[in-house]
Amino acid sequence: MLVIRPETEQDHERVYDLVSAAFGKPDEANLVNRIRPFEGVMSLVAVEQDDVLGHILFSPVTLLDEEGNRREIKIAGLAPVAVSPSQQKKGVGSKLILDGLERCKAAGYAGCVLLGHPDYYPRFGFQPARSTFGITSTYSVPDPVFMAKELHSGAFDQLSGTIHYHQQFQGV
Ligand SMILES: CC(C)(COP(=O)(O)OP(=O)(O)OC[C@H]1O[C@@H](n2cnc3c(N)ncnc32)[C@H](O)[C@@H]1OP(=O)(O)O)[C@@H](O)C(=O)NCCC(=O)NCCS
């Protein structure tokens, strides 16, 4: 049975290898190692019979208004999510995302944002952040790629602004 649980220190090496293999480069795995110790970070693994098949990380992001003032809302950034190449397309990624979003909600996050493929994330309720909520990011990406999801209905009402990821994301 596939179980989603918070990672432990014993998982770190396996997570590093898995994330590197899924992305075909170590940048995202190095990011996970750098950001893991920071407050509010949620790092989860998908495990089947003691084998780690997938990993997902959520980190707190900041929403600044048009004047550059910090808005008082707790938002999580989903990144990265990775499934072992041999285990992809079996629902592991979906389970990690859905379970992770539930945990974010339980941890008091009002919403979640991500940069990702517009064909994949809408199935989990993500919508283009700028056109739907007036929320942009500091990344120069096509509009549909930056997506947001409210974890509490109405959480993003009247909340335009720019999302800033944790400084550890710089250069990734
Ligand atoms: C993206 C990823 C985590 C999805 O995990 P998964 O376990 O394969 O996903 P699921 O089995 O839950 O879902 C599979 C579905 O997602 C789709 N999908 C997966 N990756 C996709 C992508 N990059 N773009 C569009 N669709 C994608 C598959 O085509 C499949 O669609 P279907 O259900 O209509 O057949 C996994 O493919 C992965 O690790 N990719 C490499 C790392 C990466 O790109 N991570 C995301 C960026 S942060």
pLDDT digits (tens, 9 = 90+) for 29-74: 999 999 999 999 999 999 999 999 999 999 999 999 999 999 999 9
Question: Which positions of the chain have pLDDT values less than 50?
Answer: none
Q: Is the pTM of this model over 0.85?
A: yes
pLDDT at 109: 97
Cα of 64 vs centre of ligand 1, distance in Å, is 30
Dihedral sign from CA coordinates of 164, 74, 135, 45: positive
Q: How far is the CA of 136 from the centre of ligand 1 (A)?
A: 24
CATH class of 3-169: alpha beta
- Residue 100, φ and ψ in degrees, nearest 5: -60, -40
What is the structure's pLDDT at 58? 98
The closest residue, in CA terms, to atom 4 on ligand 1 is 93
Contact 11, 145 (CB under 8 A): no
Q: What does the pLDDT read at residue 172?
A: 82
Q: How far apart are CA 143 and CA 23, in angstroms?
A: 23
Q: For a substitution probing ligand 1, which of 88, 137, 145 has the most ligand atoms within 8 Å of its CB?
A: 88
Ligand 1 geometric centre to CA of 89 (Å): 6
What pLDDT score does 113 carry?
98
